[in-house]
Amino acid sequence: VFSTSDSESFSAKRRQELLLFFVLGCLAGSILLIGRAFVATIFDHESDAFFYGSLSWYFHSSYLSMYYNFAIVVIFDHLISTKWKKNITWRLVESGLILWFLFLVFLLSSKAGILSLGGVLLFFSGFLVFKRKNWLGGILVLTIGTLIFTSIYELMPGPLKRLENAGKVIRSESGTLSHSSESTAERLSIWEVSTEIIKEHYLIGVGTGDVKDELLTKYSQKGMGTALDKKLNVHCQYLQTFVALGLAGFVVLVLMLVLPGIMSIRRNDIIYLLFLSIFAFNILVESMFETQAGVVFYAFFNAFLFISMTSNLKPEISN
């Protein structure tokens, strides 16, 4: 589709329109989810309707958090590239949308999502200070972000507690992991199994159709009942690709994230750089190329933003 489109499809105006509609789509979807949570709380008496998987409904919370973090990036980039005195009402609306999506990321309680959000806030704070020489703006972003994280931890400790628990699991003895049902422990156990498979087939992998069979065999051998029952994938796209396609596939995956990232830095394309960074971080803990929610998001925006960046038309939304 993209390769047969004319150049006008990737103009600065079209890029801005497309990103705007993505933000509006995220907003509409989030309102639907919050509405559904209210209904579930009032009529079905669900105690956790606003939290984690119950809130994300038909989506995995990690994927929704990734979408919302990217929406925050789009809004933030437009916000800092426009003077506050120009249409201050719209600036306030954009600030409100950032807070809305930020709050939703915490409600979704994805550990990768919360860490990605912290990284986005730190990036924009540093960008304002070191790139724009706007010390006030950078300190303000960092201060507000810190206050929000602290306030949410005091009022709604669940999301950040999940990060604390993950840290405890990582520091625990690896020998206890195979029988744990905690999500971080499950991932660490699966990663150990995947590493064993990689050592056995490091050159060409086991093939894209045999990854699940190899994993299930290992789960059975090691007594990993939860992983076996759920037929879990690797939960790390880097390892998943290495298991399936071997060293060559792994190198290609890394290069298709790193090389465009270097180009985006050279061309000062903040949105594309952060899109790649958010996706690269999230696939550390999810095999996102194994699901439509991950493949479509990456394939669409990676192609569109790359072509937009490499065209002669400078994006208006990124200065």
pLDDT per position as a tens digit, 42-54 = 988 888 888 888 8
DSSP for 258-293, please give it. HHHHHHHHHTT-HHHHHHHHHHHHHTTTS-GGGSHH
Q: Counting beta carbons within 10 angstroms of the beta carbon of residue 176, is it exposed (0 to 12), middle (13 to 18) or buried (19 or more)?
A: exposed
Instruction: Write down the pLDDT at residue 87.
Output: 77
Q: What burial letters (b/e) apply to 64-91, b meaning 16+ CB within 10 Å? A: bbbbbbbbbbbbbbbbbeeeeeeeeeeb
pLDDT one digit per residue (tens) for the chain, 319 residues: 777 777 778 888 889 999 999 999 999 999 999 999 999 899 888 888 888 888 888 888 999 999 999 999 999 999 888 776 677 888 889 999 999 999 999 999 888 999 999 999 999 999 999 988 888 888 989 998 899 888 877 777 766 666 666 666 666 654 444 444 456 777 888 899 999 999 998 899 998 888 888 899 888 888 887 788 888 889 999 999 999 999 999 999 999 999 999 999 999 999 999 999 999 999 999 999 999 999 999 999 999 999 999 885 444 444 4
Instruction: Write down the pLDDT at residue 317.
Output: 42
Instruction: Write down the pLDDT at residue 312.
Output: 52
Across the chain, the runs of DSSP E, i.e. the strands, are: none
Instruction: Write down the pLDDT at residue 162.
Output: 66
Instruction: Write down the pLDDT at residue 315.
Output: 45
Instruction: Write down the pLDDT at residue 319.
Output: 41
* Distances 319 to 21, 202, 312 between C-alpha atoms, Å: 20, 43, 15
**Amino acid type, 312:** N
